[in-house]
Structure 1
Amino acid sequence: MHNTAGQAPSQATLDHLPLDMIIVGGAGDLAVRKLLPALYTAHLHGTLRPATRIIACGRHPYSRDEYIAFVRDQAQPFIDSKNLDPRTWDSFLALLDYVCLDASDAAGFERLRRACQEGGQRVFYLATAPTLFTAICDNLAAAGLVDGSSRVVLEKPLGHDLNSAREINEAVGRRFTESQIYRIDHYLGKETVQNLMVLRFGNAILEPLWRAPNIESVQITVAESVGVGSRAGFYDGTGAMRDMVQNHILQLLCIIAMEPPVSLDPDAVRDEKLKVLRSLRRMKLADIARDTVRGQYVGGAVDGEPVPGYLQEDGVPAGSATETFVALRAHVNNWRWANVPFFIRTGKRMARRMSQIVIQFANPPFSIFPEAQHNHTNRLVIQLQPEESIQLQLMAKQPGSGMQMLPVNLNLDLQSAFTERRPEAYERLLVDVIKGRLTHFMRRDELEAAWSWVDPILEGWRLLDEPPLRYKAGTRGPDAAAALLARDGMEWVE
């Protein structure tokens, strides 16, 4: 089989065409909680094309009116109340249509073709299990829905391992060119993540210091206070390593560690990220046993409320050994990052929801302040959620006699520094898809390089055959995660 996409028109040409945004899985959790609210907000602020229609597809036999009633009931609560204008909401609902189809049934895709606007551009968002991607793309092509202007958005996780990721890439690549494929990672749509590029490469004061030996260590934490909830069926076959580390966290690591790209051209940026992924030191079995921690939460309390353990969650098999927490020590084997440890941590049911990056600068080679010789004097803390901020921690003299030092923070509060509206991550990325901006989406070789690093760790855990360490819900994870840093005289920044 061959690629059926054909020659792509210019973006300027596409901007004048009608647009059909087609969400396969349009009645699913992702569509309800994220995609439809994001598209509504884009509609509210005028960033959708005037001739845009949103066609949801799913197996449930909704009529159009029934689907609109479903969206009113299920999606509206996920829209920020300050953005919910009744007239605009009604005009958004008027954009919606629904087509009942099954991924393996060609007849449904013929109904979809008839529902699409004549001569328009089609963007397909596959908000389904990746196992359905092949059948969906083949049926889209067979129905004549794929041409040079079409784009396809692939939701994570893309594969279960390297081989399955390659199979998905091959299957989608038979129907769409690489420039038409948008592998989405919503972390790359966050304002502060995109601001990392400007922080690093737009400030001459930081770039000369952004390397060993000036930087002592890097921490990346993505902590969630929630459990698996209704996702147990998916999550138990996935785990924290596949769900968070292989995509979100490695993408953050790439932006932190990459060399300056020659431009903001998508391939220039992604070339440098690929070099980082290929430079990650591969772990052998002894490294995996020493430098990785797997955990699973047990019953505890979050925000003062009792919560069940992972094994007590609905849909989790008895005795499951799936990890809900991962901490590990990684190294980037190149000159810039020689001997700088990257500490990664992610988990569910932790003490609080927090995503942050901590750049720990090295201590001065000699201190004239004896009491400060063991202090970590300077660190850059980049907070991604729940609030977005950047703090540079410096040392200052405490008022009074003597030369006692205390840390003080220079704060960049992104909420107050700029008055412009800050689109939510999915809204920003969906608009990027419509406008043909690939910079913040993963390329095929990036995805496969990430799996090439993660796969040996997963295999090592299988060979070691050790159960995940237990940690109480509402805590910071297993004690072994703290010990991972303590060996180097460090600790997690909370």
Structure 2
Amino acid sequence: MTDTYVNPLRDATDRRLPRVAGPCALVMFGVTGDLAQKKLLPAVYDLANRGLLPPGFSLVGYGRRDWDDEQFTDYVLESVKERARTPFRAEVWRQLAEGIRFVTGGFDSDEGFEQLKETLREVDETQGTEGNHAFYLSIPPDGFDQVIEQLRRHGLVDKSRTTPWNRVVIEKPFGHDLASARELEEKVSSVFSSDSVFRIDHYLGKETVQNMLALRFANQLFEPLWNRNYVSHVQITMAEDIGIGGRAGYYDGIGAARDVIQNHLLQLLALVAMEEPASFEAGQLRAEKEKVLAAARAPRNLKSHTARGQYTAGWAGGQRVRGYLEEEGIAPDSQTETYAAFRVDIDNRRWAGRPFYLRAAKRMPRRVTEIALMLRPAPHLPFHLADTEQLGANALVLRIQPNEGITMRFGAKVPATQMEIRDVTMDFNYGTSFAESSPEAYERLILDVLLGDPPLFPQHTEVELSWKILDPILDYWADKEHQPEGYAAGTWGPPSGRTMLERDGFTWRRP
């Protein structure tokens, strides 16, 4: 008798077939911002170029600029030619351009929203978008309430209606603490049904993040080791080599913890630590993530197991760069952190007693996002101590970006020696292992919005649970006695970041 294995990643739908969106219009608020210009507009073109958008598609921009449709079309074309990942094809662009519209107005403009309503009625008729509308809020969080209320007031959304559909896309951060997240949810849910709200976390659209599920649940090799019996601790790092650039207005007052740990890194933690779902269906996947986040907590000793820093002037990328307080638009007494690190404990059978360390920072020596499962040492080494001096801990490292792939570190004998053991690595790299190129994260997520496919989007319960983990740390840091510690740009952070792990007998892995 043979065992039957049921693959939890398999859906009833054959996902080998390309999924093509149905007729719809995508309305972008904040369309002249950096995110739209660099990511969203090129992603829309790349989807069209790959044949994943229907002929009945329209892209509608909404903004304050006094543009007509032709001027906005030129703006989109410039963004596409500069940033698109797929080759430019005139015939694809001509079809896409037929559905491009622009509406001038502010968030408080009743006239602008009435014009938007008329524009959507027009593209429903001329482009065949059939009344299916997705509203992408690529705007600062303080504008969410106003835009959502305007959509309701001007009859652009009908919560009670399922066909044609209306959906809203919200960019992080989802509030600035638990209380504000609940207020935002109350406003959004008063206008949109829960299955029509898509909270974008672009990290969840990355192929390597999704491959984490395949690595664990499609292979028998790793799952027996994926627990407290073999793992000593887990490190999740998101390091950026850049400063804040032109984002002072957004970043100051937000900081590294709210900007990326509350969403990106805690979502990665949930995917790493969760139990096997019954299937890859959205509800099943969400239930397992919620269980992990509900079991996770901030460290009991916040002084010993949190670290907060702010970069000062230093060397990065071969040039001298200024410190955070010297950046344009930053107040000279700002206490916003650009380095945040802390320990998270998960109180369940699989992970009890095995800490997860989360770290996010700007002006690091290099740009890298990775998850490292550090394994416990072998209980006995039948070698002389001198033969194993260069032997570190075994590790399984999931590289999210750049150079997406997986690294295994283990000990091997050095050739031509009697028995000297040294660390070696075994690498899997997406770029060299598959002929297909990975779609950009926003391509995948925008397509999922248009399809109404929710597995990669965190729901409100996950958002609340994440804030419950982070809020005690933010409250502790808000005390004037716990202000950020300086670290030179181009280094791996303040001394407190290192001692945080050293207290537990560990060191940060050098990515």
TM-score normalised by length of structure 2: 0.90
SS in structure 2 of the partner of residue 256 of structure 1: helix
Structure-2 separation of matches of 1:448 and 1:106: 33
Q: Give the match's secondary structure for 2:352.
A: coil
The corresponding residue for 1:472 is: 488
Number of residues of Structure 1 aligned to a counterpart in Structure 2: 478
Query: Is 1:98–2:102 an aligned residue pair?
Result: yes
Equivalent-residue separation in structure 1 for 2:272 and 2:63 (angstroms): 39
User: What SS does the aligned partner of 1:77 have?
Assistant: helix
Give the Cα separation in 2 of the matches to 1:233 and 1:484: 31
Change (3 A) 1:56 1:205: same
Partner of 2:220: 204
Match of 1:405 in 2: 421
AA of the residue aligned to 1:32: Q
Give the structure 1 partner of residue 503 of structure 2. 487
> 1:373 deviation in Å?
7.7
- The match for 1:133 among 133, 144, 159 is 144
Conserved? CA contact 1:191–1:422, under 8 Å = yes
- 1:438 deviates by 0.5
Partner residue of 1:165?
A: 181
Q: What does 1:382-421 correspond to in 2, within 5 Å?
A: 382-421=398-437
- Tell me, yes or no, if structure 1 residue 185 matches structure 2 residue 167: no
Contact 2:134–2:450 (8 Å) recurs in 1: yes
Q: Tell me the SS of whatever aligns to 1:204.
A: coil
Q: 1:215 to 1:108 in 2, by over 3 A?
A: same
Q: Is the 8 A contact 1:393 1:407 kept in 2?
A: yes
Distance 1:18 1:325, change over 3 A: same
CA distance, structure 2, for counterparts of residue 15 and residue 222 of structure 1:
33
Provide TM-score, normalisation by structure 1: 0.93
Deviations 1:30-65 (A, max 9, x none): 111110011111111111122111001112221112
Q: Which runs of 4+ in 1 moved over 4 A?
A: 14-17
Aligned to 1:144: 155
1:47 maps to amino acid: L
Q: Which moved more, 1:123-132 or 1:142-151?
A: 142-151
Q: Distance in 2 between matches of 1:373 and 1:348?
A: 33
Q: Does 1:308 align with 2:302?
A: no
Mapped partners of 1:241, 1:267: distance in 2: 27
Q: 1:73 to 1:122 in 2, by over 3 A?
A: same
Trace 1:334-413 onto structure 2 (pairs within 5 A).
Answer: 334-371=348-385, 372=388, 375-413=391-429
Q: Answer yes or no: is the 8 Å Cα contact 1:288–1:461 preserved in 2.
A: no
How far apart in 2 are the matches of 1:231 and 1:377? 39
| Percent identity of paired positions between Structure 1 and Structure 2 | 40
Give the structure 1 partner of residue 8 of structure 2. none
Q: Please state if 1:326 is matched with 2:340.
A: yes
- Supply the distance in 2 between the matched residues of 1:414 and 1:382 (Cα, whole angstroms): 12
Unaligned runs of 5+ in 2: 1-18, 125-129
Asked if the contact 2:277/2:285 (under 8 Å) is kept, the reply is yes
**Alpha-carbon displacement from aligned partner over 1:162-201 (angstroms, at most 9, x marks no partner):** 1111111110101111111100100000110010011111
Report the secondary structure of 1:55's partner residue.
strand
Q: Say which of 40, 64, 79 aligns to 2:45.
A: 40
Checking the alignment, whether the CA contact within 8 Å between 1:294 and 1:326 is kept in structure 2 is: yes
Q: Aligned residue for 1:21?
A: 26
Alpha-carbon shift at residue 229 of structure 1 (Å): 0.9
Give CA-to-partner distance per residue, 1:140-163, whole Å, 9 cap, x none: 123222242111111111111111
Deviation of the 1:15 alpha carbon: 7.2
State how far apart, in whole Å, the 2-side matches of 1:89 and 1:370 are. Answer: 67
Take 1:309 and 1:15, find their aligned partners in 2: how far apart are those partners? 47
Aligned to 1:84: 88
**Partner of 1:230: helix, strand, or coil?**
coil
Task: Output the CA distance in 2 between the equivalents of 1:317 and 1:247.
Answer: 26
Q: Distance in 2 between matches of 1:88 and 1:349?
A: 40
Name the CA distance, whole Å, in 2 between partners of 1:18 and 1:29: 27
1:227 to 243, 248, 267: 243
